[in-house]
């Protein structure tokens, strides 16, 4: 900025200086070629990319080929009688729903606590440091989460945590299945990894919406003698309601779309899970690790396109819902402090 | 109304019992500490992860890890590091060119309707699962083009993945430039393009840079977009139109290939270590730039 201040800006001819009822609406001629030229297409590029992705997937998918059996729980790539392959997505949808749903439950609780701490309770410096640290967590590559979960956490889950859960809350439906005999990789481990992975995003979004509660509302509450917690509960959480739901939705979409880390810890089973300890598969992780098989079976390649399409549709619907609640910048939500100076 | 409740009992007309005020204040204090427990739950995994990756990777880490090519059960990560850098160059060029151009147009020239659509589309694109983009890249850039898996296809797919981050940052940074700067420039008779290149862009530049580095950090760490498009040869990449290996793929591969232990798994951890270093480095750069920027433009954003 200092650079440009020294040298005077040359006037380009023709354009009238902005004046009259619409003072800034009429720019001089210099920008016109940009506005009307080819360059204007670039504004549409994100949309074009989005539409292209969807169009290619729709074009390639053979939804007619698979019909209603596609939405069944019946997945069989290499059947005993040839020609009887079936690509039911049910098992994977169930796996996605369980892992993403449970992860969302935990992540919501955790990140509410984090966001309230950062936005209300902590002094400026610790809250800044902790914000940076949680954003750092968002930057850790998903494959590293997967490696850590699969190699380091898995023995602990399989030998200690899962038997303990079985003993304590085994009477709950879903928690009563066998534990040690089926290996540590499964829904529970995947849920844990997913929880840690989406917490940074939901925390960042929740913190932002809690901090954007109008100051006078907060101060009115405090002036009436309410404690900070009472203001949080009765004012902030209510005013920021929409933003919080947005965070939850976007976290859910993120959890649904995570492929690599989940693929490493969920155990890759294509049968219905019998308990939360059992191995399973999510839609995203299934697409990921079927690469080698897809090269061998052209049929599977088409089925995977449909899986990808369904994943895309779900992600877009959830994201659109979230954006309708409150306009949020998903792309820059967990950026390390870059956009805070408004 | 005993003296024990102190001055605050004066405000006790809001509540029924005098002791209730003290209880409410105590509860408020306690919950502040209870909420801190959540940080333990979140930061423990972060540090545990970094600790274990270091523990597994460092004992046998040396120059040969970075300079040798992996052969069989031994060797180093040279091919993967080279591939990752190559992919990042392609992807960053792609994402930066498109993202900045789109951001410029959206922030400065686009009519409000186009603005709204573009911003929504950008955020939706950021919400598309990476694996879907990867699969799209596989169909569009590997199958349709008959190239087979190539570094170029993988780089472009990764670029598509990174576009929304650069685009949204650019747009936000330009939109956040104080209106006074814009009005002053236009009032001097400058065109919008002149404003953009001489005033708006220099002010927004540090933020745009953080956006690019942020996108790079995400791109380095996500294997899903390139998994289907890059192939994974063990040899070093031979050019844009030949397949390439990359670090995140190495982590997955060395884990998933049986027996998933021993020297290959160690190599996987070393790849993870290198990736974490790169990502942390990029994050530190982002932090430094944004701190300097805040300092430099403090008066501007008062």
What residues of B are in contact with residue A288 (Cβ under 8 Å)?
Answer: 131, 224, 227
**What pLDDT is stored for residue B70 in this prediction?**
75
Contact A143 B217 (CB under 8 A): no
Q: Which of A7-21, B126-140, B170-184, B263-277 has the lowest mean pLDDT?
A: A7-21
What is the model's pLDDT at position A112?
94
Q: Does residue A172 carry a pLDDT above 60?
A: yes
Instruction: Determine the pLDDT at residue A312.
Output: 93
**CB distance from B164 to chain A under 8 Å?**
yes
Report residue A81's pLDDT band, with 50, 70 and 90 as the boundaries: low
Rounded to two decimals, the pTM is 0.86
Tell me if A326 sits within 8 A of A319, measured CB to CB: no
Q: Quick one: residue A176, left, alpha or beta (phi over 0 = left, psi -120 to 50 = alpha)?
A: alpha
Of A141, A147, A339, the CB nearest to B268: A147
In the numeric block, which tokens belong to residue A36? 């009307």
Using a CB–CB cutoff of 8 Å, tell me whether B53 touches chain A. Answer: yes
DSSP class of residue A1?
A: -
> A342 with B175: CB under 8 angstroms?
no
Distance from CA of B240 to the nearest CA of A (A): 22
Helical axes A124-139 vs B201-221, angle rounded to 10° = 50
DSSP string computed for B123-147: HHHHHS-HHHHHHHHIIIIIITT--
Q: How far is A175 from chain B (nearest CA, A)?
A: 22
Tell me the CA distances in angstroms from A153 to A101, A102, A156, A159, B29, one per residue in order.
Answer: 21, 18, 5, 10, 34
Interface contact A137-B45, CB threshold 8 A: yes
What whole-number distance in Å separates Cα of residue B45 and Cα of residue B34? 19
Strand partners, B71: B74
The band of A39, judged by pLDDT with boundaries at 50, 70 and 90, is low
Question: Other CB atoms closer than 10 Å to residue A60's CB: what's the count?
Answer: 20
* Shortest alpha-carbon distance between residue B187 and chain A (Å): 7
Mean pLDDT computed over A126-130: 88
Eight-state DSSP code of residue A76: E
Cβ neighbours for B13, distance < 8 A, ≥ 6 positions apart: none
Q: Does B294 lie at the interface with A, CB-CB under 8 angstroms?
A: yes
Quick one: average pLDDT of A159-163?
A: 84
Q: What are phi and psi of B74, to 5 degrees?
A: -120, -165
Name the DSSP letter for residue A118.
I
CA distances from A136 to A309, A314, B250, B275 (A): 31, 28, 22, 13
CA gap B118, A316 in Å, rounded: 15
Q: How far apart are CA B138 and CA B84, in angstroms?
A: 18
H or E element, residue A87 = strand A86-87
| pLDDT tens track for B131-186 | 999 989 988 888 888 888 889 999 999 999 999 999 999 999 999 888 888 899 99
Count CB-CB contacts under 10 A for residue A68.
7
Calculate the CA A50 to chain-centre distance: 17
Instruction: Supply the pLDDT for residue A318.
Output: 94
The minimal CB distance from A144 to the residues B49, B211, B283 is found for: B49
Q: What is the pLDDT of residue A236?
A: 92
Could you tell me the CA-to-CA distances from A10 to A34, A206, A245 in Å, in that order?
Answer: 18, 46, 50
3-state secondary structure of A280: strand
Q: Is B290 a residue whose pLDDT tops 70?
A: yes
Cα gap A132→A181, rounded to integer Å:
41
Q: Mean pLDDT, to the nearest integer, of A109-136?
A: 90
Does A316 contact chain B (CB < 8 Å)?
yes
Q: How many CA atoms lie within 13 A of A121 on its CB side?
A: 19
> Residue A132 and residue A334: Cα distance in Å, rounded?
9
Two tokens, residue A217: 């509302």
Band (pLDDT 50/70/90 cuts) for residue A223 is very high
3-class SS at B71? strand
Q: Lowest mean pLDDT: which of A166-170, B206-210, B218-222?
A: A166-170
Helix (H, G, I), strand (E, B) or coil at A106: helix
Smallest Cβ distance to B251: which of A50, A143, A327?
A: A143
As a whole-number percent, the residues of chain B with pLDDT over 70 amount to 92
Half-sphere exposure of A193 (CA within 13 A, CB side): 33
% of chain A exceeding 70 in pLDDT:
79
Longest dimension (CA), chain B: 86
What pLDDT sits at residue B258? 64
Residue with more model confidence, B9 or B188:
B188
**Burial (CB count within 10 angstroms: exposed 0-12, middle 13-18, buried 19+), residue B192:** buried
Compute and round to an integer the Cα radius of gyration of chain B: 26
Q: Measured between alpha carbons, how far is B116 from B114 in angstroms, rounded to an integer?
A: 5
Please give the Cα distance from B162 to B277 (Å, whole number): 20
Chain A contact for B277 (CB, 8 A cutoff) = no
Tens of pLDDT, residue by residue over A285-327, are 988 888 777 777 777 887 888 888 889 999 999 999 999 998 8
| Residue A128 forms contact with B (CB below 8 Å) | no
Is residue A154 a contact partner of residue A217, using CB atoms and an 8 Å limit?
Answer: no
pLDDT digits (tens, 9 = 90+) for A292-302: 777 777 778 87
User: Across chain B, what does the average pLDDT equal?
Assistant: 85
Q: Report whether A142 contacts B52 (CB < 8 A).
A: no
* Residue from B191, B246, B282 to probe the interface with A (highest A Cβ count within 10 Å): B191
Q: Between chains, do A151 and B255 touch, taking CB under 8 Å as contact? A: yes
Q: Compute the half-sphere exposure of residue B204: CA atoms within 13 Å on the CB side of its CA.
A: 31
Smallest Cβ–Cβ distance between A137 and the set B42, B192, B203 belongs to B42
Show residues of chain B in contact with A110, CB under 8 Å: 38, 41-42
Cis before B259 (ω within 30): yes
Residues 210-239 of A with CB under 8 A from B: 224-225, 227-230
Q: How far apart are the first and last CA of chain A?
A: 17
Bridge partner list, A75: A87
Question: Residue A42 and residue B105: Cβ atoms within 8 Å?
Answer: yes
Q: Is the pLDDT of residue A108 over 90?
A: yes
Pick the residue with more confidence: A29 or A331? A331
Residues sharing a CB contact under 8 Å with residue A307, sequence separation 6 or more, in sequence order:
A89, A92, A283, A286, A287
H or E stretch covering A75:
strand A75-76
Q: Binning pLDDT at 50, 70 and 90, where does residue A86 land?
A: confident
pLDDT in tens, A241-280: 999 999 999 999 999 999 889 988 988 777 788 888 888 8
Answer whether B119's CB lies under 8 Å from B208's CB: no
> Measuring CA to CA, which residue among A187, A197, A189, A193 is closest to residue A97?
A187
Most distant CA atoms of chain A, gap in Å: 83
């Amino acid at each position: 900025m200092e650079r440009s201040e020294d040298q005077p800006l040359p006037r380009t001819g023709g354009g009238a200086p902005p004046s009259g009822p619409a003072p800034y609406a009429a720019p001089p001629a210099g920008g016109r070629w940009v506005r009307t030229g080819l360059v204007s297409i670039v504004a549409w590029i994100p949309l074009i990319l989005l539409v292209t992705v969807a169009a290619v997937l729709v074009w390639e998918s053979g939804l007619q080929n698979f019909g209603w059996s596609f939405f069944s729980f019946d997945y069989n790539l290499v059947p005993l009688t040839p020609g009887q392959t079936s690509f039911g997505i049910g098992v994977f949808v169930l796996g996605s729903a369980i892992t993403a749903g449970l992860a969302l439950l935990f992540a919501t609780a955790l990140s509410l606590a984090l966001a309230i701490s950062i936005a209300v309770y902590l002094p400026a410096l610790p809250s800044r440091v902790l914000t940076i640290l949680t954003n750092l967590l968002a930057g850790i590559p998903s494959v590293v989460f997967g490696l850590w979960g699969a190699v380091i956490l898995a023995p602990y889950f399989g030998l200690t945590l899962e038997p303990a859960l079985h003993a304590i809350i085994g009477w709950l439906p879903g928690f009563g299945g066998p534990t040690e005999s089926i290996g540590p990789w499964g829904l529970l481990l995947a849920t844990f990894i997913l929880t840690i992975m989406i917490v940074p995003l939901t925390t960042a979004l929740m913190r932002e919406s809690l901090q954007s509660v109008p100051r006078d509302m907060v101060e009115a509450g405090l002036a009436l003698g309410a404690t900070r917690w009472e203001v949080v509960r009765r004012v902030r959480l209510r005013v920021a309601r929409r933003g919080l739901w947005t965070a939850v939705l976007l976290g859910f979409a993120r959890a649904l779309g995570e492929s690599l880390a989940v693929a490493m810890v969920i155990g890759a089973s294509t049968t219905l899970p019998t308990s939360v300890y059992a191995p399973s598969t999510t839609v995203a992780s299934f697409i990921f690790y079927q690469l080698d098989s897809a090269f061998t079976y052209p049929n599977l390649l088409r089925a995977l396109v449909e899986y990808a399409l369904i994943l895309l549709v779900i992600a877009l619907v959830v994201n659109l819902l979230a954006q309708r609640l409150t306009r949020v910048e998903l792309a820059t939500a967990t950026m390390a402090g870059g956009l805070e100076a408004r | 109304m005993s003296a024990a409740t102190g001055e605050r009992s004066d405000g006790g007309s809001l509540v029924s019992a005098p002791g209730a005020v003290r209880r409410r204040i105590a509860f408020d204090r306690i919950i502040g500490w209870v909420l801190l427990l959540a940080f333990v739950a979140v930061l423990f995994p972060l540090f545990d992860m970094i600790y274990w990756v270091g523990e597994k990777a460092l004992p046998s880490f040396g120059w040969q890890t970075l300079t040798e090519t992996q052969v069989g059960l031994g060797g180093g990560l040279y091919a993967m590091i080279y591939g990752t850098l190559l992919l990042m160059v392609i992807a960053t060029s792609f994402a930066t060119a498109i993202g900045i151009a789109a951001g410029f147009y959206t922030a400065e020239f686009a009519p409000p309707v186009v603005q709204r659509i573009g911003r929504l589309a950008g955020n939706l694109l950021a919400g598309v699962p990476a694996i879907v983009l990867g699969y799209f890249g596989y169909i569009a850039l590997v199958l349709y083009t008959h190239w087979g898996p190539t570094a170029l296809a993988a780089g472009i797919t990764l670029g598509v993945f990174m576009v929304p981050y650069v685009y949204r940052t650019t747009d936000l940074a330009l939109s956040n430039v104080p209106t006074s700067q814009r009005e002053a420039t236009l009032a001097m008779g400058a065109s919008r393009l002149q404003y953009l290149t001489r005033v708006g862009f220099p002010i927004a530049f540090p933020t745009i840079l953080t956006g690019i580095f942020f996108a790079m950090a995400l791109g380095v760490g996500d294997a899903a977009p390139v998994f289907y498009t890059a192939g994974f040869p063990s040899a070093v990449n031979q050019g844009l139109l030949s397949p390439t290996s990359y670090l995140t793929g190495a982590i997955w591969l060395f884990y998933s290939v049986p027996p998933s232990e021993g020297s290959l798994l160690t190599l996987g951890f070393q790849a993870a270590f290198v990736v974490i270093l790169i990502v942390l480095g990029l994050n530190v750069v982002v932090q430094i730039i944004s701190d300097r920027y805040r300092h430099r433009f403090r008066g501007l954003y008062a």
